[in-house]
Amino acid sequence: MNRYSVLLVDDEEEVIRIIIKKLDWENMGFCIAGYARNGVEALEMAEELQVDVVMTDIKMPYMDGLTLCRKLKELYQNMKVIIFSGFDEFEYAKEAIKISAEEYILKPVNANELREVFTRVKENLDRELDEKRNMDKLREYYLESLPVLQENFYASLMEGRIPEKEIEKYARGYQIELKGPYYVVTVLHISTPESGEDEPLEPFLLAVSVKRLVQEQLAGKWDSRIVTYLGDSVVIAQLPEEEAVTHFTDTMDKICKMAKRVCKARVTAGVGYVCKEPGQLCVSYQGAKNAVSYRVLYGNTRAISIAETDPQENADMPWEQPYIEKILKKIKVGEEVPLQEAVREFTEKLSGSRMSLQKYKILIMGLIAELFRFGFDHGMNPDEIFGENSDVYIQAMQIESPEALGVWLNDKCLQMQKMVLHERQDTTKSFVTKAMEYVKEHYADQDLSIETICSVLNVSAAYFSTVFKKESGKTFINYLTDYRMEVALELLLNQNEKTYIIAEKVGYSDPNYFSYVFKKQFGMPPSKYKAGKVEQS
């Protein structure tokens, strides 16, 4: 039986306890994921827990239930919202219907009525889930959604096989609009399930399920097209401006999280470089593939933008050298064993190539040039890697076998890998430090949010949230709240200010909400906390 998660929202904890006791939630196919005491808290928890159903009261502080319902429906189209209230005026019911709430029921909540409501909600959820998982429908959809000529056209663009002057002719013949003015490629990679995870659909059908979900979420947006290429789903999106890629990255990040809940798939969205011409999509595609590789550092079930993750990477790198490219990629990813494997594959290929001495010299020169270019792009000193006053080319040419070349190359690449990892750690720490310094200077700004800080740093919210939590151990909202509460505590104890004045000074327009957050942080409201400290002194 499918099981769905429920978030309960009411400012009266006793009401929540009563609702929890009224039903045998597990036997009905539900579990209580948590409960919130107001709409603001519920909105944060819904994002964190990714619940299927929200049951909310209407009259609550800081954000009422109708506003909460409206915001949830904007953010999560498939989330079911049930509104319950002691207010039986027709206007409330009418508004609930207008914002697509599933049910509107009155307090006191009757157990039988509540059971009927959740039975209907579960039937709707089951039906929607079955539609996504139904194998026959997926097969039919797969056949209908893959026009061969269009698929081949996009594949040829990503491979760079169509002459620039002929792209428009082919696009017109295949009824494809390429109006740009900017383009970006995103690779959607489905990771293999980890031990202990539920058994997913067979890989072929799982890929189709994910592709369909992406098409549903991107319908009518970004002039996008989703194709299947080399086992992955690939999104080719058209952007109105270059800066829109940050918004696009955030959209792909939400889709990755939705795919885990709906399709039982762990998806990484690698977002490539933004380009101006369809003929440059091959470069954007290679950047997207490289971005997917960074899942070993940042985790899967998220969007990773190559321009944000590795802005120093040279987008014009000649991709016709796949073995060298793979070595450089593994240097950047930061894991020793995959790098050694990439070097081994290169030397084995070299050993069996039977090339002439002249071609071998050209290959070695190209390899060293790529290593030097990579090192310079990442601010490395070549003397630290290859030795002072040494001719690296002569070093390499004096090596007498592919195996010995592999040992030499492995040693140099591992040194470079450690330098890249150290540089990346410094960069991300600087990135987080800038955000923390901004909070210290602007914590009193009532409009300070993730969107604000991302606009200042010029990054997407998805990337910022991942890096900030990884480096600081907290979400940005939690860090901002903690910092504001530290300042508020200092003002409360050292200055004889009213609570509402302290609230304004630390960025809260509503003194009641400030008191609520303060109590949640320190276990008692500000006035009582101060009185207790005065008595102790």
443-537, CATH topology level: Arc Repressor Mutant, subunit A (1.10.10)
Distance of CA 103 to the CA centre of its chain: 32
Determine which of 124-128, 161-165, 477-481, 491-495 has the lowest per-residue pLDDT on average: 161-165
Q: Does this chain's domain 4-133 share its CATH topology with 136-312?
A: no
Question: Please, which pLDDT band fits residue 136 given cuts at 50, 70 and 90?
Answer: low
Tell me, what's the pLDDT at 398?
76
Tell me, what's the pLDDT at 367?
83
Per residue in 183-235, pLDDT (tens digit) is 999 999 998 766 556 666 677 888 888 999 999 999 888 889 998 888 889 99
- pLDDT over 70 (residue 316): no
Residue 383, both tokens? 């003397």
136-312, CATH topology level: Alpha-Beta Plaits (3.30.70)
Tell me, what's the pLDDT at 354?
62
- pLDDT over 60 (residue 146): no
Written as one string, the DSSP assignment of 128-186 is HHHHHH-HHHHHHHHHHT--HHHHHHHHHHHHT-S-HHHHHHHHHHTT-----SEEEEE
Provide mean pLDDT across the span 526-534. 78
416 neighbors 374 (Cβ within 8 angstroms): yes
**Cα–Cα distances in Å, from 69 out to 126, 247, 256, 529?**
21, 23, 23, 35
Q: How much is the mean pLDDT over the chain?
A: 83
Q: 4-133 belongs to which homologous superfamily?
A: Response regulator (3.40.50.2300)
Determine which of 5-14, 131-140, 386-395, 513-522 has the lowest per-residue pLDDT on average: 131-140
Strand (E) or helix (H) holding 524? none
- pLDDT over 80 (residue 520): yes
Provide mean pLDDT across the span 6-26. 91
- pLDDT over 50 (residue 315): no
Tell me, what's the pLDDT at 94?
66
Where do the domains of the chain lie? 4-133, 136-312, 317-431, 443-537
Written as one string, the DSSP assignment of 228-266 is EETTEEEEEEEESSGGGHHHHHHHHHHHHHHHHHHT---
The sign of the torsion formed by the CA atoms of 392, 398, 402, 407 equals: negative
**Residue of higher predicted confidence among 453 and 420:** 453
pTM above 0.75, yes or no: no
Per residue in 453-465, pLDDT (tens digit) is 888 888 888 788 8
Per residue in 72-123, pLDDT (tens digit) is 888 888 899 998 887 665 566 666 666 678 888 887 788 899 999 999 999 9
Pairing of strands 53-57, 302-305: unpaired
Tell me, what's the pLDDT at 86?
75
- pLDDT over 70 (residue 237): yes
Question: Please, which pLDDT band fits residue 175 given cuts at 50, 70 and 90?
Answer: confident
Question: Please, which pLDDT band fits residue 320 given cuts at 50, 70 and 90?
Answer: very low
Question: Look-up: residue for tokens 């040992």?
Answer: 407
Determine which of 208-212, 312-316, 476-480, 505-509 has the lowest per-residue pLDDT on average: 312-316
Provide mean pLDDT across the span 56-70. 87
Tell me, what's the pLDDT at 88?
63
Tell me, what's the pLDDT at 200?
60
- pLDDT over 80 (residue 1): no
